[in-house]
Amino acid sequence: ASEGFTICCRYVSKAAPKTQVEFDYDGPSMKTSVPGTRSQNVGAINFFCNYDESRGNYLVDVDGNRMLDIYTQISSIPIGYNHPALLKLMSNPNNLSTLVNRPALGILPPENFPNKLTESLLSVAPSGMGRVQTMACGSCSNENAYKAMFIWYRNKERGHNIPSDEDLNVPGCPELSILSFMGAFHGRTMGCLATTHSKAIHKLDVPSFDWPIAPFPKLQYPLEEFSRENAQEEARCLEEVEDLIVKWRQKGKPVAGIVIEPIQAEGGDNHASPDFFRSLRNIACKHGCAFHVDEVQTGGGNTGKFWAHEHWGMDDPADIVSFSKKLLTGGYYHKDELQADKPYRIFNTWMGDPSKNLLLAEVLNVIRKENLLEEVTRSGKALINGLYELQAQYPGILSRARGQGTFCAIDICDDATRSSILLKARDKGVLLGGCGDRSIRFRPALVFKDYHVHIFLNIFNEVLAQHK
């Protein structure tokens, strides 16, 4: 395996020394270690960046180091740095008003806002959803989606949407819950944190709601060798979900909604089968719970489909789908019945940003024009096959290579080795990120091509050879 891998990489590297993307560089270029002398290392900051000089798949730091970015601002850069189509859009004087004025969208939206939503977010709406609520970020998208589920559930209980005088008395807060999964990450605001279970530090010192937490399947790899065991594991988790729904109803805190990521990202790139999600959707329907699919990290095309839940092959995949990151604005799609019943119930000052919808419409044009979802599928196959080869070559270091499209990950033998690999890769010009206890996650932009994969694989191979 290792011999084949080396030949493959040498051949591809020689065949593609020249970039095929106008606004991209032809490879990494490192002048110092990272962070260099001009970067200040403060708290969570990795290094300071020169965004003017960054292009395509390459991020440049203040010391002039040019790195192949396979982390892309925590998976939030859709079509690379400084894409010409977006620069052109920003330089159009007709767009100045949208860029300069940020309205309170909930009460004073601009004249063209409905048309801009139709051009952007509604043009990629998930199956069965014709409504979208914009928000500023992933956490506030989920936070307000939870509120929408609670409001929907209570109106369903009442049989109408007119609260009684008793309901309106302080505190007027019903004992309801949302079921989430171990390993999940849904955000850092209070309601979201109650459903986030990826790292203890996120929740340290912060009170939380008494809401049910179900096990997420722990699949064994390679999948084809463990199909029976994985099916049993998924069945166990689904059974536990039903048990928890019944238990919390008996506790007087019925489950109004279930929230889940199509791939648990921050929690370690944990996958489950389409059958698991289809069964979970059925359980939600059976027990009268709203089904919320959190696509904040998986949405926008990096799994090879615009929404990761499309891989499940369902006509009615969810009641609510939240998004942010690659869609540049936050928000959630929802069915008609989850529309807020009165003004100001789902509300804040900005409720999104029209300038981001403007950019998103152009991003979607580029995705369609350049067939970027097909590119993601192609480069994703090259990436996962390369990871399989490296895993065979370095079995003491690497395991459990997995992914969908370019949304890939691989496990490292331990956290210390992972940290060392991430730093060495960065000093050789490849920017990567970790997730879970010991995984490395791959989150390139949609303009990441085959030859970028092989530039990465060559450098990653060099780094791993130092740890052998």
User: Could you confirm whether 349 is annotated as catalytic?
Assistant: yes
pLDDT at 15 over 70: no
Do residues 312 and 127 make contact, with C-beta atoms less than 8 angstroms apart?
no
3-state SS class at 402: strand
Q: pLDDT (tens digit, 9 = 90+) per residue, 71-99?
A: 999 999 999 999 999 999 999 999 999 99
Mean per-residue pLDDT for 289-310?
98
Give the whole-angstrom CA distance, residue 107 versus residue 101: 14
pLDDT at 167: 81
Q: Which of 116, 325, 428, 449 is catalytic?
A: 325
pLDDT at 21: 54
Name the more confident of 44 and 253.
253
Retrieve residue 316's tokens. Answer: 């009615």
pLDDT at 168: 82
pLDDT at 1 over 50: no
Retrieve residue 57's tokens. Answer: 């798949």
Rounded to the nearest integer, the mean pLDDT of the chain is: 93
Mean per-residue pLDDT for 256-270?
98
Q: How many residues does the chain have?
A: 468
73-98: b (≥16 Cβ within 10 Å) or e:
eebbbbbbbebebbeebeeeeeeeeb
Name the more confident of 2 and 116.
116
pLDDT at 17: 43
Give the whole-angstrom CA distance, residue 91 versus residue 43: 35
User: Could you confirm whether 185 is annotated as catalytic?
Assistant: yes
Q: Which of 5, 181, 185, 442 is catalytic?
A: 185
Q: CA 12 → CA 7, 15, 403, 446, distances in Å?
A: 9, 5, 22, 20
Q: CA 213 → CA 288, 318, 319, 423, distances in Å?
A: 18, 19, 20, 35
Contacts of 348 (CB under 8 A, 6+ apart): 106, 135, 136, 140
One DSSP character per residue, 89-151 reads HHH-GGGHHHHH----TTTS--TTHHHHHHHTGGGGPPTT--EEEEESSHHHHHHHHHHHHHH
Which of 456, 412, 405, 467 is CA-nearest to residue 434?
412
pLDDT at 172 over 80: no
212 upstream amide cis, omega within 30 of 0: no
> What share of the chain has pLDDT > 70, as a percent?
95
Tokens 């709203």, located at residue: 290
Mean per-residue pLDDT for 162-187?
89
Retrieve residue 262's tokens. Answer: 């199509």
Tokens 């926008």, located at residue: 300
Give the whole-angstrom CA distance, residue 105 versus residue 120: 16
Instruction: Give the confidence band of 152 by pLDDT, cuts at 50, 70, 90.
Output: very high
* N-terminal to C-terminal alpha carbon distance within the chain: 16
Q: pLDDT (tens digit, 9 = 90+) per residue, 363-392?
A: 999 999 999 999 999 999 999 999 999 999
Name the more confident of 24 and 168.
24
Q: Which of 294, 319, 353, 411 is catalytic?
A: 294
pLDDT at 11 over 50: no
pLDDT at 36: 86
pLDDT at 268 over 50: yes
Do residues 54 and 81 make contact, with C-beta atoms less than 8 angstroms apart?
yes
Mean per-residue pLDDT for 286-307?
98
User: Could you confirm whether 329 is annotated as catalytic?
Assistant: no
pLDDT at 126: 98
pLDDT at 154 over 50: yes
Q: pLDDT (tens digit, 9 = 90+) per residue, 395-424?
A: 999 999 999 999 999 999 999 999 999 999
CB atoms within 10 A of CB 368: 11
Tokens 């069965």, located at residue: 128
pLDDT at 160: 86
CA angle 29, 32, 33 (to 5 degrees): 105
pLDDT at 37 over 50: yes
pLDDT at 20: 53
Measured over the CA atoms of residue 104, residue 106, residue 107 and residue 111, the dihedral's sign is positive
pLDDT at 13 over 60: no
Do residues 133 and 113 make contact, with C-beta atoms less than 8 angstroms apart?
no
Q: What is the pTM of this model?
A: 0.94
**E strands of 303-396, at which residues?**
320-323, 330-334
Name the more confident of 11 and 46.
46
User: Could you confirm whether 298 is annotated as catalytic?
Assistant: no
Give the whole-angstrom CA distance, residue 449 versus residue 406: 10
Mean per-residue pLDDT for 438-456?
98
Q: Which of 118, 286, 316, 349 is catalytic?
A: 349
Measured over the CA atoms of residue 123, residue 447, residue 69 and residue 456, the dihedral's sign is positive
3-state helix, strand, coil in the chain (%, to 5): 40, 15, 45
Give the whole-angstrom CA distance, residue 349 versus residue 450: 43
Strand order in the sheet with 430-431: 58-60, 66-69, 430-431
Retrieve residue 174's tokens. Answer: 């019903």
Give the whole-angstrom CA distance, residue 260 versus residue 95: 37
